Structure 1
Amino acid sequence: MGKMVEILREIGMIARALDSISNIEFKEVDLIRGQYLYIVRICEHPGITPVELADMIKVDKATTVKALKKLEKIGLITQTVDKINKRTKKIYPTAKGEEVHPFIARENEYSNRVALDGFTEAEAQQLKDYLERVRINIEDDWYHVEKGNQRIY
């Protein structure tokens, strides 16, 4: 591929803009700094483990544990010890967490609608497919670095 197309800057700007919007809009439900991502995934996957959640969101385990403590403190989630593997915790939304989830989902649907304005359904699907391929390409490096390794340039 000739000159590299600079898509990561565009993706970064989109992500930061949406994150800023969400941080402002979700203050009224006590969510800050991307915590809404955790609530959505926990509501979609009740009983998920911290390791599974970290992998799903693509953040390190320490960041996930810290976010979970804050979410538990404000009463949006609960963590229980797994009955089979006592070293593993299972995460569940509380009733308060379940109440917040539709608000977050509504914001996500709106942001998707705004982002895809002027796209045909086929173009939107193609964009999703391309971005999925980009994520898959980057995932191996993420796993490699997340385990404490360095990438070779």
Structure 2
Amino acid sequence: MREILREVGMIARALDSISNIEFKEIELTKGQYLYLVRIYENPGIIQEKLAEMIKVDRTTAARAIQKLELQGFIEKQDDETNKKIKRLFTTEKGNQAYPFLKREDEHSNAVALAGFSADETETLYRLLQRVRQNVEVDWDFVKKGNKRTY
């Protein structure tokens, strides 16, 4: 069997490394851009949903959110009906950073998919979605404290 997940991992690490270097100019550190983009695109999202969306544990998400808040990229607001719930929103600083992050994403996609036809791109997208959905089953299982059987 081909080592597909190794390839996916190398791609992800390379793009993450590039982003971490380029995003220093807007004062974003390792991985923070993932959270900022998702909050911008999902205003009012709660921390638990954001962690699930990015596929990280709640503690990791809480640290990243706290840093973004301290840096002034995002803010927490009380939910209108349940004061225990904090909703996440980008600030003006976060809103100004988003176009830069979006341009980088579009450029990285264009570079990664250079030479692919529209049909190949769509097929790759659908196949990767299926891979993600398969992995999510194990992710949910392990996240709940279970152990996989190999």
Give the alignment's TM-score, normalised by structure 1.
Answer: 0.96
Stretches of structure 1 lacking an aligned partner (at least 5 in a row): none
User: What residue in structure 1 maps to residue 102 of structure 2?
Assistant: 105
Q: What secondary structure is seen at the aligned counterpart in 2 of 1:80?
A: strand
Structure 1 match to 2:37: 40
- The answer for the alignment partner of 2:111 in structure 1 is 114
One-letter code aligned to 1:43: Y
Q: What does residue 77 of structure 1 align with?
A: 74
Identity %: 57
Q: Work out the number of aligned pairs and report it.
A: 150
Q: What are the superposed Cα offsets for residues 37-59 of structure 1, whole Å, 9 maximum, x if unpaired? A: 00100000000000110111111
> Which 4+ residue blocks in structure 1 deviate beyond 4 angstroms?
none
User: Alignment partner of 1:25: what SS?
Assistant: helix
Q: What is the rounded CA distance, in whole Å, between the counterparts of 1:83 and 1:49 in structure 2?
A: 13
Q: Which residue of structure 2 lines up, in the alignment, with residue 14 of structure 1?
A: 11
Report the counterpart of residue 137 of structure 2 in structure 1: 140
Structure 2, unpaired ranges of 5+: none
**Mapped partners of 2:2, 2:131: distance in 1:** 13
Inter-partner Cα distance in structure 2 for 1:141 and 1:86: 33
Aligned partner of 2:59 in structure 1 is: 62
